[in-house]
Each structure stands twice: as structure tokens, then as C-alpha cells.
Amino acid sequence: MPNSPSKPPVYRFAPSPNGALHLGHALSALLNADFASATGGRLLLRLEDIDRARCRLEFEQAIFEDLDWLGISFEAPVRRQSEHFADYETALDRLRSRGLVYPAFLTRGEIRAHVADIEAGGSTWPRDPDGAPLYPGPERTWDIRQREDAVAAAAATGRPYAWRLDMQKACNTIDRLLTWRETGTRPQGGTDNPESTAGTVEARPEAWGDVILSRPDAPSSYHLSVTVDDALQGVTHVVRGQDLYHATAVHRLLQTLLDLPEPVYHHHRLILGPDGRKLSKSHRDTGLAALRERGLSAADVRALVL
Ligand code: GLU
């Protein structure tokens, strides 16, 4: 959906407060801030804290300190996803009422065992772009009655289950090619979307299989909440790391199913550590606070990443 020309573009930086921000986050935050200031746009901060077990207040506080140190300011109020579970539930209900989600009961161990079984027989089980096996989905063929009975039994016994998108069924409801507008770059080394650099990218959500939209320990998944929030916050431009490039296909599918507007996407390079791997939040020595303590200035960080 084209953006109204009279409205300023809306950018957002959306970290998860589950660890210390590192140089990769600095790049994301600075790019968002620079794009917003160059275009007269708005800049929002969203704390993606749906994973209550891993997110902590001290990390949230550190995010504010790091961004302040970098000289980046955001519009108030900051959106905390944990305060908006009802919004994600509403979206999930819409998908549920269209029969596009189903309750899924296999545990991680059961999925692994199923895949090992098949692969022991010489076949290869499909993996998603992050390398995880696709969900086998034995429940996909259950009728409404079986689903309701299974959910009621699970509620009575406390057996955990997730709500998953029926990917094939969802894709079948869409009668046109699903694409997104990309102004950044695709990750190196991928095998899909071979024609895509900058421009229009063909979205292939099928590669992810039946993604989780809600789990017992997190009432909304990353895919669902990011899609709902970008729409609710009027985000027009999503600027984020290339590690989320392929996930954009799922976001475009959910936007289409839920009649939400389509932002423009800009995926930026990832900053790698000395070992050539993506920086991780658990490596405190590459965190922004650690760099600050070692005497680096915000200008040094800008020069390092941009
Ligand atoms: N919360 C995600 C992260 O910290 C970023 C989500 C996004 O930008 O879409 O990796």
C-alpha cells in the first residue's frame, strides 16, 4: 500500500531487552536515526520483550543509556510489547476464525525424533532459512471437533501447545505474487530469491513452514507481534539487520492475511566478531557499554559501523 505523500515516513528501532546492545544494534539504530533525520521522518523505539523469561529490566535500562550515549532520541511513548498482548491475540483470533491456524502439540524433542526417523530412511527433511526443521504438522488434517477436543484436554491436563499458521492453506488464500520492496541488500550465500538485490523481492513464506504464532510461554511470537506493531505504529520503513531478511516473507504474508499496510524494507549488513560470526548479546566485551568503558566515544562507534 503506498504511503500518503503528505505524511512523514515513520522509522523504528526494535531491540529485545534480553542482553547488552552491541555494534550491530548501533548500526541499526544509527541508520534508522539518519534516515529519519534525512527525510524529516519520525523515529520510534519499540522494546520487543515478549519473551518474559529472557527479557530483563536492567537490559531495558541499558538500552536507554546506550541510545542516549549514541545521541539518538525517540518519540515518546516507547512501546513495550509485553503491554500489548491483547493486540496480538486479536490478530490471532482473526486468523483462527478463518481456519488459518491450528493447535500444535509436538514438543521440540518429538519434532527432532520425527525428523531423525525420516532421515534415517534416506530422505532429507526440509529446513527453514534459519536451519530449523519444518514442523511436521500431524494436526493439520484434524477437523474442528478433534482440534477442540485436543485443546480442551490440554487445558484440563496442563499439556502445553502452540498455535501455528497453516502455511500452505494461508498461501493458497493469496491469489497474487507476494513481494516486498527492498532498499538494502540480501545476505550473502543464500540460495533463494536469486534475482533479488535492491528493488522488488519475491517473498517465499513457504520456506518457513507452519511458523509458531503463539506459545504457552509467550502469547505472541516475534513474527506476529512485529507485524501487528509495525502496522499499529504506522511504521512505513523497516530498517534492520540482514539476519531478518528471509523472515520478511512471513511478515508480508501476515500483513496480507490481516489487511495491514506494507512498509518498505531496508536490510543492512551484519557486523561480525573477530571469529567471523554474528555478534551476540551474550558477549559482553563487544557490547556498547563495554566499549564506552574502554574509552570509545559515540563518534568512534559511528565511524566504526557506518
Ligand atoms: N527484536 C528484533 C531483534 O532484536 C528486531 C526485530 C525487527 O527489527 O524487526 O533482533
The answer to whether residue 143 scores a pLDDT higher than 80 is yes
Ligand 1, residue 230: give the atom nearest the CA.
9
Residues with CB under 6 A from ligand 1: 14-16, 48, 226, 240, 244
Mean local confidence (pLDDT), 251-257: 98
The alpha carbon of 1 and the centre of ligand 1 are apart by a number of angstroms equal to: 23
Ligand 1, residue 15: give the atom nearest the CA.
4
Amino acid, res. 207: A
CA dihedral 243, 244, 245, 248 (to 10 degrees): 170
What is the value of pTM for the model shown?
Answer: 0.93
- At 129, the pLDDT band (50, 70, 90 cuts) reads very high
Mean local confidence (pLDDT), 177-203: 78
Percent of the chain predicted with pLDDT > 90: 87
The mean pLDDT of the chain is 93
Written as one string, the DSSP assignment of 166-189 is: -HHHHHHT--S--EEEESS-PPTT
- At 140, the pLDDT band (50, 70, 90 cuts) reads very high
- At 187, the pLDDT band (50, 70, 90 cuts) reads confident
Nearest CA to ligand 1 atom 4: 15
Nearest CA to ligand 1 atom 3: 15
Cα–Cα nearest to 246, from 220, 271, 267, 224: 267
The alpha carbon of 9 and the centre of ligand 1 are apart by a number of angstroms equal to: 19
Find out whether 224 and 214 touch, Cβ atoms under 8 Å: yes
> In whole angstroms, what is the distance from residue 276 CA to residue 279 CA?
9
The alpha carbon of 15 and the centre of ligand 1 are apart by a number of angstroms equal to: 5
Nearest CA to ligand 1 atom 2: 15
> In whole angstroms, what is the distance from residue 11 CA to residue 237 CA?
5
Percent of the chain predicted with pLDDT > 70: 93
Tell me the pairing of strands 199-202 and 179-182. antiparallel
Domains (range + CATH), the chain:
10-101+160-305 (3.40.50.620)
Ligand 1, residue 239: give the atom nearest the CA.
8
Ligand 1, residue 226: give the atom nearest the CA.
9
Output the pLDDT for position 228: 98
Nearest CA to ligand 1 atom 7: 14
The answer to whether residue 275 scores a pLDDT higher than 80 is no
The alpha carbon of 273 and the centre of ligand 1 are apart by a number of angstroms equal to: 19
Output the pLDDT for position 298: 97
Output the pLDDT for position 190: 57
* Tens of pLDDT, residues 73-127: 999 999 999 999 999 999 999 999 999 999 999 999 999 999 999 999 999 999 9
Pocket test for ligand 1, best of 18, 32, 47, 48 (most atoms within 8 A of CB): 48
> In whole angstroms, what is the distance from residue 23 CA to residue 12 CA?
17
Output the pLDDT for position 109: 95
Find out whether 42 and 7 touch, Cβ atoms under 8 Å: no
Q: Tell me whether residue 213 is exposed, middle or buried, using C-beta atoms within 10 angstroms of its C-beta: 0 to 12, 13 to 18, 19 or more.
A: buried
> In whole angstroms, what is the distance from residue 180 CA to residue 298 CA?
33
Pocket test for ligand 1, best of 16, 230, 282 (most atoms within 8 A of CB): 16
* Tens of pLDDT, residues 26-72: 999 999 999 999 999 999 999 999 999 999 999 999 999 999 999 99
The alpha carbon of 238 and the centre of ligand 1 are apart by a number of angstroms equal to: 10
